[in-house]
Amino acid sequence: MRLLFCGDVVGRAGRDAVVEQVPLLRQRLGLDFVVANGENAAHGFGITPKICEDFFEAGVDVVTLGNHTWDQREIIPFLEADSRVLRPRNYPAGTPGKGAGVYQAGRGRKVMVVQVMGRLFMDPLDDPFVALDGELARHPLGGAVQAVIVDVHCEASSEKMALGHYADRRASLVVGSHSHVPTADAQILPGGTAYQTDAGMCGDYDSVIGMKKDAAISRFVRKIPGERLSPAEGPGTLCAVFVETDDATGLAKRIEPLRLGGRLAGAMPVV
């Protein structure tokens, strides 16, 4: 199976990159399943139902969120209505929405997607390791599902790496989101799980993690609140991770970064 995970979509530049490129990438790479992290898609803060629908129409199968899940209040009933949008699994019981789901990927194959949010330098949610462990136990790779994609939405690279190794042998892909910078450590872990600490963002890299530079710099220099941060509006780069799995085991055969458009050096898997 061929999987693609698109990093955090930031503002219109990121949305445009996803909507324009995902349909072409599905054809070019023969993709079976696409996940995108959309928690910064609505002007940098949260996501709306309309944006979700635009992503689905473009060929995204599942949208994951993160610590900005609740920034757009209109998304709350949508989380209950559409299982293709996932918030972190380790929110407390009773929180609206779902943190994991099983989806069809064609030819009778099933993909489980789960997102957990880290606790280092972030909100003190329930234990992400316990939450992840439960979902992996309920959906064994190569048995109940043919692929497992884990989005680890964390600030600390150490926590992402720990979750990656914790899920090794039990997931097809563990990939980090939230940092907005693509890391160079794409690898297959010893047990066969593909891993990358952060997929990067889909957005304008002439920015401070996707936001206009002047306001972001001012916050560091002046140490007082200033104007509200807003997304940079230049050409967007689509940053993603491509994984090909073994159909029999669900484990990874290859993982490669994908970078398309904008300012970063390009990278495109050859299939």
Active site residues: 68
Measured between its terminal Cα atoms, the distance across the chain in Å is 12
CB contact at 8 A, 226 and 218: yes
Cα separation, 206 vs 210, in Å, equals 8
Q: How far is CA 257 from the centre of its chain?
A: 13
Tell me how far apart the 2 most distant CA atoms of the chain are, in Å.
57
Q: Which residues contact 25 (CB under 8 A, 6 or more apart)?
A: 4, 31, 34, 240, 258, 260
Helix (H) or strand (E) holding 25: helix 11-29
Give all strands of the β-sheet with 100-104 in edge-to-edge order: 100-104, 110-117, 147-153, 173-177, 194-196, 187-188
